Every structure is written in structure tokens, then in C-alpha cells.
Amino acid sequence: LKITFIQHDGETIETEVEPGMSIMQAAIENLVEGIEGECGGSGSCATCHCYLSEQWSDKVTQPDNNESQMLEMVNDTTAFSRLSCQVKITKEHNGLSVTLPESQY
């Protein structure tokens, strides 16, 4: 299924991903710049911050307490901010788009 990453400068990258991956894994596997994923997906580094589009934000699993706390430490968060390693892609998510922050730090 297709996931689109939108860089901070507006460049879009279409990726083909397998259900079961996280958004972070999809970005890393497709060499999308802008997602670091330093902790490997355990939800402890917050270098995988991304913004979901409004239409998708309620169609994915919602942040748990740990993710919410980590997001509080991230700059430039919005109501649609997520740690991309905590969002699993399922087959319902074909066409999902993810916007990347200007920087992860």
C-alpha cells in the first residue's frame, strides 16, 4: 500500500510499504530523510516525530501515555503530532500521508 511522506520543504516521496510496519520503519526503509528513529522504535528517543494529516489522525491507533509524554518534550508539536514508530500501518491506511518536521531536534 502507498504512504506519502511530505518533506518540510514540500517535496513529496511516495513509498510502497507492507502492512505491519510502523511509519518510522517505512521511512527508514525508503530512505526518507527527516525521520531518524534513533532508538529503533521503542518510543524513547522522539527522533521520529511526524505530523499526520487531519483526515488520518483518528484512523490510526492513538498515542499511549509514554508517547504523549515524549511528545511533550518535542519542539513544534501540533494536535496531529505522533512518534512515527508508534503508528502501525495496516491495510486500511492506503493513501495515508505524513508530513515531516523541519528538524528532529
* Nearest residue to 76 via CA among 104, 34, 56: 104
CB of 68 to ligand FES, least distance (A): 12
Tell me the window of 6-14, 34-42, 50-58, 95-103 that interacts with ligand FES (CB under 6 A): 34-42
Q: 73 or 79, CB closer to ligand FES?
A: 73
* Residue 27 is a binding residue for ligand FES (CB under 6 A): no
Under DSSP, the state recorded for 85 is: G
Residue among 26, 52, 85, 87 that touches ligand FES (CB under 6 A)? 85
Q: Tell me how crowded residue 53 is: count the other CB atoms within 10 A of its CB.
A: 13
- Residues 3, 40: Cα–Cα separation, whole Å: 20
